[in-house]
Amino acid sequence: MKLLLISNSTNSGETYLSWPRQFIAEFLKKHKVKSVLFVPYAGVNLSSDGLTASYDEYEKKVKHVFEQLGFGLSSIHHHEDAIAAVEKAECVVVGGGNTFHLVGKMQETGIMDAIQKKAKNNMPFIGWSAGANIACPRLCTTNDMPIYQPESFDCMGLVPFQINPHYIEVNPVGHGGETRQQRIEEFLAINREVTVVGLRESSLLEMDKDKLVLKGSKDMRIFRCGQTPKEIVSGTDVSFLL
């Protein structure tokens, strides 16, 4: 498969999709993609007047970046037949936001299965944050609140492990709740055979055929039940996770 699984879209103080632009451009050029199909269903951000931002606004924001990089982009919400749109797509790109809403809408439209089938047949796939989560077997290691009820927690299973995007090991000063590591350890106490990858911001996983590599400026942390978390240096071949 050809996957680009990105922890986050934007770092503090940067323009939108600034840090991963080079990786996105290189990935699309390498796989000879000219235009992508965008899935905006994770987008439920509130505007200043308290109304949910439209999919049109999300599409516009992402399209601006992709056009600057030299690639066309259209959003799936414009297509009357969403499954047919996936079947015709050169590449599918799934943006971040709320993972529960994203999974629910993808299941309802039938595109979860359609994208899974295409990706497993070598269609390039890019996802950031929630869009990276759905490449995993289940959505259970998202950081998001369950604001929407999906049909199930099942996702595409393009990789056999779980991703926790935006991973951070330090709690804010004065915060008395669980750390992210403790949350992951809770998950592993119930799902003892699962591997969880803590994907820090400014990092991504790129898969090409049967090779998986950690890229970006941050290291990654691997969690397994009953084992000390393992740090992985950026640039490392992590195909053993497959």
Cα 233 to Cα 158, 163, 215, 217, 227: the distances in Å are 23, 16, 9, 9, 18
Which residue of the set 166, 208, 219, 234 is catalytic? 166
Q: Is 129 a catalytic residue?
A: yes
Give the span between the Cα atoms of 212 and 197, in whole angstroms. Answer: 13
64 is catalytic: no
Beta strand 35-39 with 2-6 is unpaired
Q: Which of 7, 75, 77, 144 is catalytic?
A: 144
Q: Is 144 a catalytic residue?
A: yes
Q: Please tell me which residue in 9, 75, 129, 203 is annotated as part of the active site.
A: 129
Task: Dig out the tokens for 90 from the structure.
Answer: 């050169």
Question: Which residues are designated catalytic?
Answer: 129, 144, 166
